[in-house]
Every structure is written in structure tokens, then in C-alpha cells.
Amino acid sequence: MTTILKLGGSVITDKAREGTLDEDGLAVAADAVAEVNAELVLVHGGGSFAHPRADAHGITDTDGTDDAAAVADVHSAMTALSDAVVGALHDRGVSALPVDTLSAAARDGDGDLSLPTGAVERMLGEGFLPVVHADPVVQTGAGATVLSGDEIVTSLARSLDAERVGLCSEVPGVLDADGAVIDRVDRWADVAGALGGSDGTDVTGGMAGKVRTLLDLPVPAHVFGPEGVVPFLAGETPGTEVRGG
């Protein structure tokens, strides 16, 4: 059974400095992944590599561009970050391979995503660990829009029939109105009051949208901070468990 772990861009990049790794954050996550024996797919966001460039070009997950150079600019920032993640895993003896979604995915005119998983499944079958990254994706009628790591996770959770999904960001879980971690969310109504809208500085949306999406998944999802990666991969339930089905 496959486990999917998403590392938010904020965990592996320095949000304050464009195009700069958070070396410590990446090392902690890579160390944890290197300890795991399970069949794992890693997904990561764009952080300070991609968001400033997407913002500069005016590309979001719904607003696209026909400017191929702008698309390639965001894409090359993402592949640079992916290379760093894959390299950190190779340094620890993990058989990681990069998967870029611009090359495989597409959205229809309603923005619905198709993400074929033939390559990812073959990688898992051969003992490789696929590292799938947020990327521009071509969309009917819109040029190219942004495909977030969260959206990749929810697509892969279904298509790979994943057993567990973990989303690691800079916050320790879904927080209530007092800033405390909520252990478990079963229904949107339980958290609607505590969760605001999406974070305006992040082209991929904030916690409210994330929880709503995770509630729709057929598998349990866990939302945690960097300290949760090791326990999550060990089968524990750090942070918030979101289980809608």
C-alpha cells in the first residue's frame, strides 16, 4: 500500500529569500524519508522558488497565461527545487526519481485535472521513490495555470488508491480559533468558524481549502508540521487527522 507525503514549499525553502533552500528543513525531511521502508510517493510545493515567479507572471491555479516563456520560467524554478530534493535523497541512499507534472498532466476547460500515473506506478514497482512537484499545467482555454502540490496529492491519493496521506507544512496542524491543534476533523462544519479564507500571498491556497479538499478524500489525511514527518512515516497520527469519508 502506498503512502503519500507532501512537503510544503515553506518546509524546504526559505520563504523570505527567493530561490533559496531551507537546508535544515530539507535535511530533516530527507533523513526521515531515508528511514522508511514503506512504498512512498513524495510530493512537494514550490515555496520561494516558484511563488514569486508565478506572482510576477500573474499565474494562479485558475488564472493562466499563454506566455510560454513565463510558463517555462516557473517550471525551471520548480525543476531546480526538485533537483535539490532528489539530490538530498540520493545523498542518503534513497532511490528517488523526479516527476514533473507539466509533462504529464492537463486540465480541461472546467479546470478539472487529469494526471496519468503510469510513470509513477512503474517507478514504485521498480523500487524507485517518485518525487512529484508542483508545476504549471496546460488548461483548455486558459493557457497554463498552476498545479499545486496539494492538488497533486489529492489526485494521486485517489488514482494510486493510497493508504495514507500526510501534508507537512510550517504549521503543526489545523488550528482552532485559539491557535491550538485540532486532533481530528470529520466534517467541514466542525472547523468552518476557525478557518479563514485562503492566504493571499500563496497562489496555491491556504488551510481552509486544504481541509475541504482532504475531507473529500477516500483515505485518511494528516496535517502536521516538520516535527510530524518522522511519526507520520512511522504510522503514527501527528497533528490533525482529517477523515471525511
Q: Which is nearer to a second copy, 71 or 203 (CB)?
A: 71
56 binds a second copy (CB under 8 A): no
Rounded Cα distance between 117 and 20, Å, is 30
Using CB under 8 A, which of the segments 26-34, 48-56, 119-127, 166-174 binds a second copy?
119-127
Q: Which is nearer to a second copy, 143 or 206 (CB)?
A: 143
79 binds a second copy (CB under 8 A): yes
Total of residues contacting a second copy (CB under 8 A): 47
As a whole number of Å, the end-to-end CA separation of the chain is 18
86 binds a second copy (CB under 8 A): yes
**Bridge partner residues of 146 (DSSP):** 136
74 binds a second copy (CB under 8 A): no
Q: Which is nearer to a second copy, 94 or 203 (CB)?
A: 94
Report, in angstroms and rounded to the nearest whole number, the Rg of the chain calculated over CA atoms: 17
Rounded Cα distance between 89 and 27, Å, is 9
68 binds a second copy (CB under 8 A): yes
Structural element, H or E, at residue 39: strand 39-44
CA dihedral 133, 122, 140, 151 (to 10 degrees): -40
Exposure pattern of 58-89 as b/e (b: 16+ CB <10 Å)?
Answer: ebbbeebbeeeebbebbbebbbebbebbbebb
Rounded Cα distance between 193 and 177, Å, is 8
Among 110, 118, 200, 245, binds a second copy (CB under 8 A): 118
Rounded Cα distance between 48 and 9, Å, is 7
193 binds a second copy (CB under 8 A): no
180 binds a second copy (CB under 8 A): no
Among 21, 32, 123, 167, binds a second copy (CB under 8 A): 123
Q: Which is nearer to a second copy, 116 or 197 (CB)?
A: 116
110 binds a second copy (CB under 8 A): no
Task: Write out the residues near a second copy by the rule CB under 8 A.
Answer: 66-69, 71-72, 75-76, 79, 83, 86-87, 90, 94-107, 114, 116, 118-119, 121-123, 125-129, 137-144
